[in-house]
């Protein structure tokens, strides 16, 4: 079932002359993990804000086309209801923290408190998301006295506790080291397996290659590619659009130029694929000698 259906979406921010999104059409199925790539200014955040209802309910501007999420027209939803259905995790977790609470536990419970969830259920749900995001041992700490990775997981937990149907993440790992990045990707994949629909704007293509089900590439507000990570991330046009490619693809492309990558084999996007390809070259050489 398609949870997100966008048709010919063109959106222009107030007081600007060029659309930030142009004729964007896409659908996303329930439980899919879709990564959005694109250079700076491509429209990734704008797409995230649209799914979260900030566009057109907070940023007014001009919206043309159709945006339906969970069967509802984004123009018709009320933002205060919508935040319960579609969770948005910002790039900088600092922006997400309420500032109203002294401990991580209270911070995560804050949203449930606001909608009057009974105490017992609240405790159960908070403990559940703390376990899922691996932050049980931070419960009594101040949300401000944490590392970037810990803070990002607290921000994520405070959204997840609301049990959104769709989770939108705008470059959630940009502040994180590789360990923190892996933690976030693992949690996201687990959620997708549980049926949550995931849209993640992200630059780190090696991670996308390993974890995402599908990739949508944006440039200058348009969709320029969509498909499996292996298809989209090996598209030879990506560098022309200013989109970074996987280091494994880059190395193999150079090797292919020297005849050191099997001609019939697709370029790799993950370390495993690169290893398998180079091993095949090695074996073919060993056979010759």
Among 38, 111, 164, 225, binds ligand ATP (CB under 6 A): 38
**Site for ligand ATP contains 142 (CB under 6 A):** no
Among 41, 56, 244, 262, binds ligand ATP (CB under 6 A): 41
Please report how close the Cβ of residue 223 comes to ligand ATP at its closest, in angstroms.
13
Please report how close the Cβ of residue 241 comes to ligand ATP at its closest, in angstroms.
12
Q: Which is nearer to ligand ATP, 43 or 277 (CB)?
A: 43
**Site for ligand ATP contains 114 (CB under 6 A):** no
Helix spans in the chain (H): 44-51, 54-57, 79-85, 104-114, 119-132, 148-160, 178-193, 205-211, 229-233, 247-257, 271-288
Calpha distance 55→39 (Å, rounded) = 21
**Site for ligand ATP contains 43 (CB under 6 A):** yes
* Number of residues that make up the chain: 289
Q: Which is nearer to ligand ATP, 206 or 273 (CB)?
A: 206
Name beta bridge partners: 69: 4, 72
- Contact assessment for residue 259 and residue 246, using Cβ atoms and an 8 Å cutoff: no
**Site for ligand ATP contains 44 (CB under 6 A):** yes
Among 7, 8, 16, 98, binds ligand ATP (CB under 6 A): 16
- Give the Å distances, CA to CA, from 112 to 89, 106, 167, 187: 17, 10, 17, 21
- Give the Å distances, CA to CA, from 23 to 99, 166, 204: 39, 22, 26
Calpha distance 82→266 (Å, rounded) = 42
Q: Which is nearer to ligand ATP, 46 or 158 (CB)?
A: 46
**Site for ligand ATP contains 95 (CB under 6 A):** no
Judged by the rule CB under 6 A, the positions of this chain that interact with ligand ATP are 13, 16, 20, 38, 40-46, 59
């Amino acid at each position: 079932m398609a949870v997100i259906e966008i048709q010919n979406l063109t959106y222009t921010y107030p007081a600007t002359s060029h659309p930030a999104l142009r004729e964007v059409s896409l659908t996303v199925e329930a439980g899919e993990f879709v990564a959005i790539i694109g250079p700076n200014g491509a429209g990734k955040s704008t797409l995230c804000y649209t799914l979260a209802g900030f566009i057109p309910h907070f940023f007014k501007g001009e919206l043309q086309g159709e945006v339906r999420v969970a069967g509802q027209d984004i123009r018709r939803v009320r933002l205060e209801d919508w935040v319960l259905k579609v969770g948005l995790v910002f790039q900088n977790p600092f922006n997400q923290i309420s500032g109203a609470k002294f401990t991580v536990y209270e911070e995560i419970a804050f949203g449930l408190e606001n909608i009057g969830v009974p105490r017992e259920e609240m405790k159960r749900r908070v403990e559940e998301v703390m376990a899922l995001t691996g932050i049980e041992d931070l419960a009594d700490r101040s949300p401000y006295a944490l590392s970037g990775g810990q803070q990002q997981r607290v921000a994520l937990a405070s959204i997840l506790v609301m049990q959104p149907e769709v989770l939108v993440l705008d470059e959630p790992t940009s502040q994180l080291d590789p360990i923190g990045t892996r933690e976030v990707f693992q949690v996201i994949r687990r959620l997708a397996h549980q049926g949550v629909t995931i849209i993640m704007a992200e630059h780190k293509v090696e991670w996308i290659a390993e974890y995402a089900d599908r990739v949508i590439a944006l440039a200058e507000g348009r969709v320029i590619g969509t498909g499996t990570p292996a298809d989209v991330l090996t598209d030879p046009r990506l560098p022309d659009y200013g989109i970074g490619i996987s280091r494994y693809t880059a190395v193999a492309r150079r090797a292919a130029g020297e005849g050191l990558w099997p001609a019939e084999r697709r370029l790799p996007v993950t370390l495993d694929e690169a290893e398998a390809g180079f091993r095949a070259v090695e074996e073919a050489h060993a056979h010759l000698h």
